[in-house]
Amino acid sequence: MTRGTQEVLHLQCRAYPLHHRSPGTALELVAVPGHGELQPVAGGLKSLAYNPDSTIEMDLTALIARSVSLPGAEILACHARILTAGTVLVVYALRHERDLRELSLPELDALDSLVNRTLREADSAVLTAVLAASVSSGLVQGIALRPDLALGGGRSPIDRQSARYNCHFVTDDPPWETDARVAEPISGPHCRILLPYTYAWDYDPAAPLDELLTMTEPTDIAVAQQSLLVGALIAGRWVLADLAHGHPESTDVHAFRRFLDGLWADFHHLDGYRIESTQTHRASYLSARQVIGLDDTQERADKLLGYVSNSLLAASSQRAEALDARLNRVAAALTVVSAASFGLDIAVFVLPQVSLATKLGVVVGLLGMAVSCLVAVIMPRVRRAAAEEIPEHRTWSPPV
């Protein structure tokens, strides 16, 4: 590897939580309407020491080059990595016209944030089209969406709110020092953590992209786990807000359960990286987890989702009680009607020779009794409903 270059390669890795399964069949061309065709290839996480974990790799460079422009920078490559654990990593390799080595760390961070916002706005439609084509072709199957996305119908399953990203600056002898507010953990070789989600790598920026992706894998696995948990927190808040506003019927309990099953399965699949990765990459992974506060996010998600589960159970129990009450009222009404019908049959049998007026009197009397009983069954429900509505129309006055 040639050393001594002053060039800086800017890598941005964006993680999208997308609980799915990908079949291990032959990878065929994926036709993206309006954008051409993509050829997926089988890959893997090369930083694992023990059990291999496969990926599906897609080169989006040509497609992105036709759709996205970035003032002041050149997009050298765009690569999509579909992980087994229901996450998609989108990696950009950028070269800037200005010399990034001359920037201070705050200036470098501001530039990276601006680039990320610009790219996310510009490539949203393209990535949505690629995902839709991947689903329609069978490359990605069984997507379990967040409840709000699932109910949104036409909304994209690529949830930008849940996406999290890392940025990497690859250059020989990086000039930036770690921010004083960041505890300096022991990271792997070549890696210097400047800020949470921001890394400097002492490495040749002209190295092949596959080699660079392997180098940054441990930190990108950590941000993929963070994106999974953030998606879960957003979904949990959405369900609680829906329940708080009295709309439990719009919450699909079984869909939410499937979403949570996919979430924890994918999270713990990625969490195995801490024991499956090589020693050098494991150090970077554990350092990245610590700096971005992944364990704290997991604890918060666990507590929130536990509370959501209890609320959903309570709402389900309330719906069951209301259904039982309605069924009881229907059964009571049917009993009254059956009794009236039986009474009418008895009257016709006992009084076969009476006049028409008497028969009509008996029929009207029995029907009147049936209607009275039905009203008696229904009225308590009407009074309760009216009583529940009264507080909403009262004028509030401060306590004396």
List of the chain residues with pLDDT < 70: 1-5, 23-26, 148-157, 246-252, 313-334, 336-363, 365-367, 369-370, 372-400
- Does this model's pTM top 0.75? My answer is yes
Burial 86-110 (b: 16+ CB within 10 A, else e): bbbbbbbbbebeeebbebebeebbe
With beta carbons less than 8 A apart as the criterion, state whether 343 and 368 touch.
no
CA distance 240 to 28: 42
The pLDDT value given to residue 78:
96
How far apart CA 167 and CA 187 sit, in angstroms, is 16
For residue 55, list its beta bridge partners.
43, 83
- The candidate with the shortest Cα–Cα distance to 33, out of 125, 98, 161, is 125
Residue whose C-alpha is closest to residue 234's, from 294, 299, 166, 160: 160
**Residue 142: what pLDDT?**
81
Per residue in 73-109, pLDDT (tens digit) is: 999 999 999 999 989 999 999 999 999 999 999 999 9
Give the separation between CA 204 and CA 3, rounded to whole angstroms: 6
Supply 246's token pair.
Answer: 């009295």
| Beta strand 87-96 pairing with 41-44 | unpaired
Instruction: Report phi then psi at 306, rounded to 5.
Output: -65, -40
CA distance 380 to 326: 12
Q: What is the pLDDT of residue 307?
A: 82
Structure confidence at residue 394 (pLDDT)? 39
Whole-number Å distance between alpha carbons of 176 and 185: 16
Note the pLDDT of residue 18: 84
**CA–CA separation, 307 vs 239, rounded Å?**
11
- What's the confidence (pLDDT) of residue 392? 43
Cα separation of 236 and 240, whole Å? 6
**Burial classification of residue 148, based on how many CB atoms lie within 10 Å of its CB (0-12 exposed, 13-18 middle, 19 or more buried):** middle
d(CA 26, CA 266): 23
- To which H or E segment does residue 72 belong? none
CB neighbour list of residue 366: distance below 8 Å, 6 or more residues apart: 340, 343, 344, 347
Say if CB 335 and CB 362 are below 8 A apart.
no
DSSP string, 209-250: HHHHHHHHHHHHHHHHHHHHHHHHHHHHHHHHHHHHTT-GGG
Q: Look at residue 355 in the predicted model and tell me its pLDDT.
A: 67
Domain boundaries, the chain: 9-292, 325-388
DSSP string covering 10-49: EEEEEEEE-EEE---S----EEETTTEEE--EEEE-TTBS
